[in-house]
Amino acid sequence: MARKSWIQRENKRQKLEQKYHSSRQFSKKKIKQSKAVPLSESKLKEIYRRLQSLPRNSSPIRLHRRCFLTGRPRANYRDFGLSGHILREMVFECLLPGATRSSW
């Protein structure tokens, strides 16, 4: 099991990312448009300042996928949302239809 504090921190990051998603996308869209149609330097600086004033944890790149059952941050499979060893245990217990066991 992962530490409860780490899981709570990850949940907080997800909420922040959802809260500031639209403002971050709006600022990025304006910056991308400014490359096609140049803006004045002061307006461009204002857009960058607004983007940088957002909380650091609201960035989607800081989110980390965790196992649905255990909270483990590594070896996660996107299709199932589970870590590797939990996935293997579920396959051995025939809880995942269509998945085959491998043993060597």
Q: How confident is the model over 32-89, as pLDDT tens digits?
A: 998 888 888 899 999 999 999 999 999 999 988 889 888 888 889 988 899 998 998 9
Phi, psi of 6 (to 5 degrees): -65, -40
Kindly state the tokens that stand for 56: 């650091």
What is the reported pTM? 0.69
Estimate to the nearest angstrom the gap between the alpha carbon of 7 and the chain centroid. 13
Calculate mean pLDDT across residues 18-39. Answer: 92
Per-residue pLDDT band for 13 (boundaries 50, 70, 90) equals: very high
Q: Is pLDDT of 101 > 80? A: no
Q: Which residue has the tokens 């217990």?
A: 93
Of residues 52, 50, 67, 54, the one with CA closest to residue 10: 67
Do residues 17 and 59 make contact, with C-beta atoms less than 8 angstroms apart?
yes
In 4-103, at which residue ranges do the beta strands (DSSP E only) sit?
76-77, 82-83
Give the residue from 71, 102, 68, 74 showing the smallest Cα distance to 88: 102
pLDDT, residue 4, reads 85
65-104 to CATH, choices 3.90.1150.10, 4.10.830.10, 3.40.50.970, 3.40.50.150: 4.10.830.10
